[in-house]
Amino acid sequence: MADLKKLAAALGNRDWKWWDSCSFRRLTFEDGPDRRDGSALHATVQASDGHPDVNMAPGVREFIEAASPQTVGQLADLAARLAGQLRECAETLGADQIDEQRAMRAYADAMALLDEVPH
């Protein structure tokens, strides 16, 4: 998951969208200096042998591979767990009377969860 962040940064943390007019699809950067039709990924035919292929901006292939459904699912699960733990900490600290045992448990659980977060 740390690789995904590094690869996203290498691509400028930009957004892209599928464009699908004219009966063909291409992935286009929505911002930045190379914002043009199909700038991230588009179909091509190799001149050397006439075979279909895809042409990608540098780093796109590696990012798509790193952003697998499994990795995205793991990130979503981690975000949900972090949100739940943050809610527990906020409720513990926001109580009229702070329960010391609950606060210690919330702290320990939060620290354990933070240890799982990729740096």
Q: How far is residue 85's CA from residue 91's CA, in Å, rounded to a whole number?
A: 10
Same-domain status, 57 and 91: no
Query: pLDDT tens digits for the chain (119 residues)?
Result: 778 888 998 988 889 999 888 778 999 999 877 778 889 999 999 999 999 999 999 999 999 999 998 888 988 899 899 999 999 999 998 989 989 999 999 999 999 988 888 77
Query: Which domain-ending residue is among 49, 66, 83?
Result: 66
Same-domain status, 15 and 50: yes
Q: How much is the pLDDT for 31?
A: 85
Q: How many domains does the chain have?
A: 2
For residue 27, the enclosing domain spans 2-66
Q: How much is the pLDDT for 3?
A: 83
Neighbours of 26 (CB within 10 A): 20
pTM to 2 decimals?
0.70
Same-domain status, 58 and 73: no
Phi and psi angles of residue 45, each rounded to the nearest 5 degrees, phi first = -120, 125
